[in-house]
Homo-oligomer: A and B are copies of this chain.
Amino acid sequence: MGVRVQTADFDLSMEVAALTTGRTDIGAIVTFTGTVRGEANGQPIALMSLEHYPGMTEAELARVEAEALARWPLSASLIVHRVGDLKPGDNIVLVVAASAHRQMAFDAAAFLMDYLKTRAPFWKKETGADSAGHWVDARDSDGEAIARWSSTG
C-alpha cells in the first residue's frame, strides 16, 4: 500500500509488477491512468502545471487509501500523483487496486479516483498557446461522483 508524489513519470508495468510479483492471492488488477489532454474548453493547451500541498497531500492520500481498505478487501493498492510542469499526453496520476475479484478492484479504483479528485490538495493550472495561464475550475460532477460512496459505507 503506497502513496507517492513525484515530478518523474511512472511506468505502469513496473508499478503493477512491484505490487503483484510473487503473489498468487490476486485475481484482478485495475489501473487508472490520468493524462494531460491537449485541449481545454475547445482551446489548445501548451502546458499543465500541477501544484500541491506537501505534507497534507501524503496525509490525505493515506487517509483515502485507508478508507478504501476499510471498504474492500484489497490485496494491494497504490496512488502515484505527479507535480510540476506537464505537456499534453503526459501522465498525471496512477491508481492501482488489486483484489481477489474483479468487482472489488473496479470499485476500489473508482473510489480512490473520486476521493482523490475531491479531497487531495492538488491544483492544475493550464497555459494556452498564447501563454495565458488559468487555474482549472473544480467540476461539479466530481462532487456528485464522491456523493455516490457516502451511501454505500
Contacts and interface: CB of A to CB of B under 8 A. Distances in A.
Contact of A38 (B25, B31, B38, B88): B25
Contact of A106 (B11, B32, B37, B88): B32
Interface in A26-66: 26-39
A151 interface: no
Interface string A11-26: 1111010001111111
Contacts of A110: 106
Given A16-B33, A31-B31, A24 B106 contact: no
Nearest to A92: B27
A27 B16 contact: no
